[in-house]
């Protein structure tokens, strides 16, 4: 691969590697007993699609230190996508989401395997949870067998514990805060730990530490990665409520139905007066908000220009990240790639 950043080529490399690796692991799993085949199918479904941003940030965390491209590096970087796959399977389970990438989520897809068994819904949820657990184990396996020198892997290994701790903390914070009064500071904290860190900061740091990045560069990665990761999730919040589900591949308005502590809802609440807050309470207070309720929430948000405020928050964070990047002493091709990644992470359509 040349020094010029070619996202489509990189994505193809990661896709081929992940599909081959997970297919082999799915075969090993099914060899234990053929009855496991529906579970194995969900392992492969979990990595079938993706933007591969986390792998890309890990890759450029390495390349920005001055290290060359290699297949071993791409294997290590691809392990970040298995972490993401595990997180999304668990997240869909927690949120009762029916769709991911336009296909049924694991708990829905696995209902057929247990439809004749007692407590079939609980059984399919349990199987989905175990799919997520196995994907996380496979992420560690792919990383440690990447082919990079053992000494490189050893110095990056502590960051895996940090990444897992912070990701799970973010999920727990979202669960514990769901249903609380909207609070922008709380929402941004959830965003930081649930998404920003494992999407941008930690992959960058893992790639950098693998390559021997010094303390100043690691600090720069954090200063670039955190605001950009927040911008990524803020965009996700907007897409989740206002984008076409056909494009995003996810059920629209899951965040509102789940009364999750998003920044979009918190900002809407902050801007709302008494009458608008009454409308929001009426819509959000229902156990199962219908299309009219969701339309009412969108109408209030648009009228108060809350989406515009979130767009401003995204722009501020992207510019902050790029400002940090321009101060870092990294090769020009790495700076160009990280600039391109910042734009694509924050200004995507799905």
Q: Could you read off the pLDDT of 47-85 as tens digits, one per residue?
A: 999 999 999 999 999 999 999 999 999 999 999 999 999
- Residue 330, classed as helix, strand or coil, is coil
Domains annotated on the chain, with CATH: 7-346 (1.10.600.10)
- Residue 57, classed as helix, strand or coil, is helix
What's 235's DSSP letter? Answer: H
The burial class, CB within 10 Å (0-12 / 13-18 / 19+), for 58 is buried
Distance CA(33)–CA(11), nearest Å, equals: 33
Close Cβ partners of 152 (under 8 Å, ≥ 6 residues apart): 210, 211, 212
What pLDDT was estimated at residue 180? 83
| Stated pTM of the model | 0.94
| Cα→Cα distances 75→82, 85, 194, 233, Å | 11, 15, 24, 26
Distance CA(79)–CA(74), nearest Å, equals: 9
Alpha-carbon dihedral angle through residues 167, 172, 175, 176, given to the nearest 10 degrees: -140
| Cα→Cα distances 50→47, 71, 176, Å | 7, 20, 28
Question: CA angle, 103 as apex, 140 and 189 as ends, to 5°?
Answer: 55
Longest dimension (CA), the chain: 62
Q: Which residues of the chain have pLDDT under 50?
A: none
At 21-31, the pLDDT tens digits run: 999 999 999 99
Distance of CA 1 to the CA centre of its chain: 26
What pLDDT was estimated at residue 254? 65
- Residue 103, classed as helix, strand or coil, is strand
């Amino acid at each position: 691969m040349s020094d010029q950043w070619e996202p489509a080529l990189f994505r193809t490399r990661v896709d081929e590697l992940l599909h081959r690796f997970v297919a082999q692991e799915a075969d090993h799993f099914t060899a234990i007993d053929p009855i496991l085949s529906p579970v194995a199918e969900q392992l492969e479904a979990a990595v079938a699609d993706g933007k591969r941003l986390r792998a890309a940030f890990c890759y450029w965390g390495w390349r920005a230190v001055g290290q060359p491209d290699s297949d071993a590096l791409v294997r290590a970087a691809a392990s970040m996508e298995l972490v993401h796959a595990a997180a999304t399977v668990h997240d869909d389970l927690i949120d009762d989401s029916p769709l991911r990438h336009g296909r049924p989520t694991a708990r829905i897809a696995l209902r057929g395997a247990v439809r004749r068994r007692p407590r079939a819904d609980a059984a399919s949820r349990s199987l989905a949870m175990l799919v997520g657990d196995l994907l996380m184990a496979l992420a560690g396996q792919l990383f440690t067998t990447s082919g990079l020198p053992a000494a490189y892997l050893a110095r990056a290994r502590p960051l895996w514990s940090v990444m897992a701790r912070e990701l799970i903390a973010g999920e727990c914070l979202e669960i514990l805060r769901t249903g609380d009064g909207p609070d922008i500071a709380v929402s941004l904290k959830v965003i930081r730990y649930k998404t920003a860190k494992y999407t941008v900061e930690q992959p960058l740091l893992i790639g950098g530490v693998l390559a021997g990045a010094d303390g100043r560069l690691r600090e720069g990665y954090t200063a670039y990665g955190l605001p950009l990761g927040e911008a990524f999730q803020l965009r996700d919040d907007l897409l989740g409520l206002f984008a076409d589900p056909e494009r995003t591949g996810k059920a629209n308005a899951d965040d509102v139905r789940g009364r999750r502590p998003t920044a979009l809802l918190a900002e809407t609440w902050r801007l709302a007066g008494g009458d608008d807050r009454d409308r929001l309470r009426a819509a959000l207070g229902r156990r199962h908000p219908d299309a009219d309720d969701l339309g009412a929430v969108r109408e209030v948000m648009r009228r108060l220009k809350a989406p515009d405020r979130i767009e401003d928050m995204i722009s501020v964070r992207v510019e902050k990240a790029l400002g940090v990047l321009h101060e870092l002493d990294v090769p020009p091709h790495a700076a160009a790639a990280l600039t391109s990644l910042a734009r694509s992470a924050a200004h995507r359509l799905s």
